[in-house]
Amino acid sequence: MKVPILSDLKSKGESPEYLFWVGCAGSFDDRSKKVTKAFVKILNKANVSYAILGKEESCTGDPAKRAGNEFLFQMKAISNIEILNSYNIKNIITTCPHCFNTIKNEYPELGGNYKVIHHTTFINNLIKENKITIGGGYYKGKKITYHDPCYLGRANGIYEAPREVIDKLDAELVEMKSCKSKSLCCGAGGAQMFKEPEKGDQDINVKRSEEAINTDSEIVAVSCPFCNTMMSDGMTAKQKNMDVLDIAQMIEKAEDL
């Protein structure tokens, strides 16, 4: 698939409107790569002027910071900011709430000031501006539940954009027992994604998956690569065939992109 790389565009003297920050999961994790590709298809369909950093992209430093390694975080942040500023980047889209939160909230104090948009907000805006239209009724009447990522919801107060997209799919949104500001974490935040959980009587992702299963929905919509992994694993643990899909993948399917 054709994906514009920022350094190529620069050598042609072009500067795109948006940088799509793919993120580590979006680049390497099999589930998340599908989300990345789905989102690229949406960007292409809507004729968005964008590029990715490609080989110049690196971890934002989020997991290091949440683990407590402020040194490593700041070193990653400052070298990322140098690259972003050298390209004079103004707008960044991310498909990962952790990248979103870190670049939006924690880079400014280190000299990186950008307008950062999460892909669910971006997609919602594209639909509102009629840059993509959703027809076909692929999800019409289907029960869908939405899992709020902590770093999009509580951390940044974004609860409605993903719900508005689901609403536009003509689907029936069913909320879980705990949702929005009271949503239960998937268990991956704060660097937990990269370690085994502490001893307890249940894994958090299994508990959250139970809440999703209890809604009797066909699909759990997610908007974070870590939540995607955790909820998919949770469904496997519960031996349930419930689809776990990112908002971008749902648009991809609805639009047959």
Partner 1 sequence: MVEILPNIIFSLILIFALGFFVKNIQRLIKVIKMGKPINRTDNPSKRLSNLVRIALGQSKMVTKPISGFLHVIVYVGFIIINIELLEILIDGVTGSHRFFSKYFNPFFYDFLIASFEILALLVLISVIIFWTRRNIMKIKRFLSAEMKGWPKFDADNILYFEVVLMLLFLSMNATDLILQDRGFEGYYKAGSFPVSSFLVPIFDSFDTSTVYLYERIFWWLHILGILFFLNYLYYSKHLHILLAFPNTYYSNLEEKGKFGVLESVKNEVMLMFYPERASNENNQVEKFGASDVLDLNWVQLMNAYSCTECGRCTSECPANQTGKKLSPRKIMMDTRDRLEKVSLNISKNKGEFIDDGDRLLDNYISKEELWACTSCNACVEVCPINIDPLSIIMDMRQYLIMEESSAHPDLNNMMNNIENNGAPWPYNQLDRELWAQETQ
The helix (H) or strand (E) run that includes residue 213 is: helix 204-213
> Given the structure tokens 């998919």, which residue do they identify?
232
Residue 153 C-beta: closest distance to partner 1, Å? 9
Paired tokens of 57: 């992209």
Alpha helices in 104-188 (DSSP H): 119-128, 160-168
Residue 52 interacting with partner 1 (CB under 8 A): yes
Q: CB neighbours of 42 closer than 8 A, spacing ≥ 6?
A: 123, 126, 132, 248, 251, 252, 255, 257
- Establish if 44 lies at the interface with partner 1 (CB under 8 A): no
Distance, C-alpha 80 to centroid of its chain? 19
Give the range of 23-31, 114-122, 236-244, 249-257 binding partner 1 by CB under 8 A. 23-31
Could you give the CA distance from residue 257 to residue 244 in angstroms, rounded to a whole number?
19
Give least dist CB 183 to partner 1, A: 8
Closer residue to partner 1, CB minimum distance, 117 or 171: 117
Residues numbered 125 to 184 that lie near partner 1 (CB under 8 A) are: 150-151, 154-157, 181-184
**Phi, psi dihedral angles at 248 (to 5 degrees):** -65, -40
Number of residues that bind partner 1 (CB under 8 A): 75
Binders in 214-253 for partner 1, by CB under 8 A: none
Of residues 14, 17, 49, 58, which one binds partner 1 by CB under 8 A?
58
Restricted to residues 185-214, the positions that interact with partner 1 (CB under 8 A) are: 185, 187-204, 207-208
Closest to partner 1 by CB, 24 vs 250, is: 24
SS3 222: strand
Q: Is 76 in the site for partner 1 (CB under 8 A)?
A: yes
